Amino acid sequence: MGIFNKKQKGRSKKGLSAAEKTNVERNPAQGLDGTRMVEALPTYIKTANAKIFKNENNAWIVLGRDRPAGVESGYGGSAADRCGSIDLVVGRLAGYPVGTDTEKFVDSSFTGDSARIYISQRADIDKYFDLVDGGVGNSENRSAIGIKADSVRIMARQGVKIVASLDEDISTTQKAGPKSKYGIDLLSGNYDEKDFLQPIPKGENLRRALWEIVDAIEDNTKILNSFITAQVQLNLFMMSHGHEASPVPATPSPSLIAYVSTQSLPKMLINGKVPAGKTARQNLLKLKLNYLKPGGAIYINSKLNRTT
What are the φ/ψ torsions at residue 194 (nearest 5 degrees)?
Answer: -55, 135
Question: Are 276 and 178 contained in the same domain?
Answer: no
Per residue of the chain (308 residues), give pLDDT as tens: 344 444 545 677 777 778 888 888 888 888 888 888 888 888 899 999 999 999 988 999 999 999 999 999 999 999 999 999 999 999 998 866 555 554 578 999 999 999 999 999 999 999 999 999 998 899 999 999 999 999 999 999 999 999 998 877 777 666 656 666 789 999 999 988 888 899 999 999 999 999 998 888 887 777 777 777 777 676 666 655 666 656 666 666 666 667 666 766 666 666 655 455 567 778 888 889 999 999 898 999 999 999 98
What residues contact residue 141 under an 8 Å CB cut-off, 6+ apart?
A: 75, 122, 123, 124, 172, 174
Q: Is there a domain that residue 9 lies in?
A: no
Q: Is there a domain that residue 132 lies in?
A: yes
As a whole number of angstroms, the distance between CA 43 and CA 107 comes to 9
- pTM of this structure: 0.75
Q: DSSP letter for 201, please.
A: E
As a whole number of angstroms, the distance between CA 250 and CA 267 comes to 27
Question: Are 152 and 63 contained in the same domain?
Answer: yes
Question: Are 63 and 174 contained in the same domain?
Answer: yes
Q: How many CB atoms lie within 10 A of CB 112?
A: 15
As a whole number of angstroms, the distance between CA 37 and CA 161 comes to 40
Question: Are 75 and 171 contained in the same domain?
Answer: yes
Q: Is there a domain that residue 32 lies in?
A: no
Question: Are 164 and 268 contained in the same domain?
Answer: no
State the pLDDT at residue 61: 98
Q: Is 214 helix (H, G, I), strand (E, B) or coil?
A: helix
Question: Are 44 and 139 contained in the same domain?
Answer: yes
Q: Where a domain ends, among 135, 153, 183?
A: 183
What residues contact residue 45 under an 8 Å CB cut-off, 6+ apart?
A: 70, 71, 105, 106, 107
Structural domain of residue 258, as residue ranges? 203-241+254-307
Question: Are 227 and 94 contained in the same domain?
Answer: no
Q: Is there a domain that residue 69 lies in?
A: yes
Question: Are 169 and 57 contained in the same domain?
Answer: yes
Comparing CA positions, the residue from 69, 70, 6, 77 lying closest to residue 35 is: 6
Question: Are 259 and 164 contained in the same domain?
Answer: no
Question: Are 55 and 167 contained in the same domain?
Answer: yes
Question: Are 167 and 273 contained in the same domain?
Answer: no
Alpha helices in the chain (DSSP H): 18-26, 74-77, 125-128, 203-240, 254-259, 265-268, 274, 280-287
Q: Is there a domain that residue 3 lies in?
A: no
Q: Is there a domain that residue 271 lies in?
A: yes
Name the domain count of the chain: 2
Strands 43-44 and 105-106: parallel
Please report, for residues 84, 235, 238, the alpha-carbon distance to residue 227 in angstroms, rounded to integers and kept in the order given: 76, 12, 16
Question: Are 148 and 210 contained in the same domain?
Answer: no
State the pLDDT at residue 180: 64
Q: Is there a domain that residue 43 lies in?
A: yes
Q: Is there a domain that residue 8 lies in?
A: no
